Amino acid sequence: MKNASHRQAQAHTRIEAVMAEIQSRIASRVYPPGARLPSVRAQAQAMQCSVSTVVEAYGRLSAGGAVVSRPGSGFYVAGPLAPLALSELAPDLDRAIDPLWISRQSLETDVDVLKPGCGWLPPDWLYETGMRRALRTLARTSSTTLAEYAPPLGNPALRQWLARRLAGNGVDVAPEQVMLTESSTHSIDLICRFLLQPGDTVLVDDPCYFNFHALLRAHRVHAVGVPYTPQGPDLDAFASALQEHAPRLYITNAGIHNPTGATLSPIVAHRLLKLADTARLTIIEDDIFADFETTPAPRLAAFDDFSRVIQIGSFSKTISASLRCGYIATRPDWLEGLSDLKIATSFGGGRLATEAILAALSDSGYRRHMESIRVRLATAMDTTLKRLAALGIQPWLRPQAGMFLWCRLPAGGDAATLARTCLKAGIILAPGNAFSQSQRAADYLRFNVAQCADPRIFEVLAQAMAG
């Protein structure tokens, strides 16, 4: 009897020890709120005790409310729930190269801050007169346009306009293949929801638009970077990535590449599509900079006829970012699934933004506006290149058009350090590694030539580089 009660006491102590250990791990967030505890068997092995000890410990923790059992699924740390902190998904990321931090900085509008790292034009470069005219017209429009939800695919006239513009770029698409969204980012987000599951792999260019990284983090998928060359993605690396990672999706830019300003060559486009075909890869081509091109680069969608290419875009870089409107052009059989997802997650769009954008686009001034913007950008690019050259900062290539310059610092320069220093002087830079999956762009910066007019930027840069 004595022995039995001794054994019982020992078992009791073991259970309590295991409980204490688990409670301490919960307290220190080794097991964060909402996390699944290791299986009973794995825990027993890890803690070198019997399965029954763990069962008993989990059971008591569950009775006490620290742990919740979900039948068929296991034991979970009780709430407060552990929300999805995108920042915690990349905890080691230096704030200066954290995509979300950079976006946040750029979106906070403090008039005293200069933003050579920002990804869009200053407001007075956008199509202001067109917007004002459109708003005056809309003030007199029908009740329906003023008050109603848009139909599931969005404004039919704007979808027709888009189909015509795509045709102008050699992309043959029916208006029925076009769905309007709130933005380019919203377009990619919907496609990710449609095609991806957590744990999938997605190829991106290295470097690429930094918010792609944040967006993919939000989908809990792995991003794999493919080095970008002046003619497009490095095809050998692309082929290896297909082989090694079996990705479901590749996200890239059409036309002018962000951040490098490079454009895809026809031969790379053709070979890329052959590789994609063999691997049954879907490609999202973000055509957001279409209207900045002087000589249109080849569109993957034009080669492929939408069998595996999805084209997206928006008007936030040319007309206005204040009225949200983007689009998805894709194969006809995917439209219903995509629009179901749009309705389920945002209950469709509004009418006013699309009507305003359509009015601005239809107006004869828009073409002239974009002509003048292209000239203005070319001039700003010359000036910025000269000012950067004076600091020993060299472009990776000289873009044919657009607003971006992807530049290398003189030997030994570290863009993240520079960004931190310049931020103190009210200047927001875009350090290379924010764009780079491989983190091999520590000595690069992206400049937006339209945001580089103020000479103070270069004075502060010079001081920061010297200091």
Chain positions 100 to 119 lying near a second copy, rule: CB under 8 A, are: 100, 103-104, 107-109
Q: Is 193 in the site for a second copy (CB under 8 A)?
A: yes
Binding-site size, a second copy (CB under 8 A): 96
Which of 23, 50, 145, 400 is the binder for a second copy (CB under 8 A)? 145
By beta-carbon proximity to a second copy, the closer residue of 286 and 443 is 286
User: What's the rounded Cα separation, in Å, for the pair 19 and 57?
Assistant: 5
Q: Is 339 in the site for a second copy (CB under 8 A)?
A: yes
Mind spelling out the 3-state secondary structure of the chain? Answer: CHHHHHHHHHHHHHHHHHHHHHHHHHHCCCCCCCCECCCHHHHHHHHCCCHHHHHHHHHHHHHHCCEEEECCCEEEECCCCCCCCHHHHCCCCCHHHCHHHHHHHHHCCCCCCECCCCCCCCHHHCCHHHHHHHHHHHCCCCHHHHHCECCCCCCHHHHHHHHHHHHHCCCCCCHHHEEEECCHHHHHHHHHHHHCCCCCEEEEEECCCHHHHHHHHHCCCEEEEEEEECCEECHHHHHHHHHHHCCCEEEEECCCCCCCCCCCCHHHHHHHHHHHHHHCCEEEEECCCHHHCCCCCCCHHHHHCCCCEEEEEECCCCCCCCCCCEEEECCHHHHHHHHHHHHHHHCCCECHHHHHHHHHHHCCHHHHHHHHHHHHHHHHHHHHHHHHHHCCCEECCCCCCCCEEEEECCCCCCHHHHHHHHHHCCECCEEHHHCCCCCCCCCEEEEEHHHCCCCHHHHHHHHHHHC
Which of 80, 91, 412, 467 is the binder for a second copy (CB under 8 A)? 80
Q: Is 189 in the site for a second copy (CB under 8 A)?
A: yes
By beta-carbon proximity to a second copy, the closer residue of 11 and 68 is 68
Q: Is 344 in the site for a second copy (CB under 8 A)?
A: yes
Picking from 62, 60, 65, the residue whose alpha carbon sits closest to that of residue 74 is 62
Which of 208, 281, 409, 430 is the binder for a second copy (CB under 8 A)? 281
Choose one: 95-103, 384-392, 405-413, 415-423; the region binding a second copy (CB under 8 A): 95-103
Choose one: 147-155, 364-372, 373-381, 404-412; the region binding a second copy (CB under 8 A): 147-155
Answer whether 51's CB lies under 8 Å from 5's CB: no
Q: Is 390 in the site for a second copy (CB under 8 A)?
A: no
Q: Is 335 in the site for a second copy (CB under 8 A)?
A: no
Choose one: 47-55, 96-104, 163-171, 420-428; the region binding a second copy (CB under 8 A): 96-104
Which of 146, 167, 389, 390 is the binder for a second copy (CB under 8 A)? 146
By beta-carbon proximity to a second copy, the closer residue of 54 and 353 is 353
CB of 356 to a second copy, least distance (A): 8
Q: Is 135 in the site for a second copy (CB under 8 A)?
A: yes
Answer whether 310's CB lies under 8 Å from 282's CB: yes
Choose one: 8-16, 47-55, 242-250, 263-271; the region binding a second copy (CB under 8 A): 242-250
By beta-carbon proximity to a second copy, the closer residue of 250 and 396 is 250
User: What's the rounded Cα separation, in Å, for the pair 269 and 265?
Assistant: 6
Choose one: 141-149, 370-378, 414-422, 446-454; the region binding a second copy (CB under 8 A): 141-149
Q: Which of residues 200-239 bind a second copy (CB under 8 A)?
A: 201, 211, 214-215, 217-218
By beta-carbon proximity to a second copy, the closer residue of 306 and 396 is 306
Q: Which of residues 399-428 bind a second copy (CB under 8 A)?
A: none
CB of 79 to a second copy, least distance (A): 3
Q: Which of residues 292-331 bind a second copy (CB under 8 A)?
A: 316, 320-324
Q: Which of residues 352-381 bind a second copy (CB under 8 A)?
A: 352-353, 356
User: What's the rounded Cα separation, in Å, for the pair 77 and 30?
Assistant: 11
Q: Is 246 in the site for a second copy (CB under 8 A)?
A: yes
Q: Is 32 in the site for a second copy (CB under 8 A)?
A: no
Q: Is 92 in the site for a second copy (CB under 8 A)?
A: no
Which of 6, 12, 136, 398 is the binder for a second copy (CB under 8 A)? 136
Residue 376 corresponds to which amino acid? R
CB of 343 to a second copy, least distance (A): 5
Q: Is 456 in the site for a second copy (CB under 8 A)?
A: no
By beta-carbon proximity to a second copy, the closer residue of 334 and 458 is 334
Q: Is 148 in the site for a second copy (CB under 8 A)?
A: yes
Q: Is 178 in the site for a second copy (CB under 8 A)?
A: no
Burial (CB < 10 A; 0-12, 13-18, 19+), residue 253, is: buried
Q: φ and ψ at 36, to 5 degrees? A: -80, 135
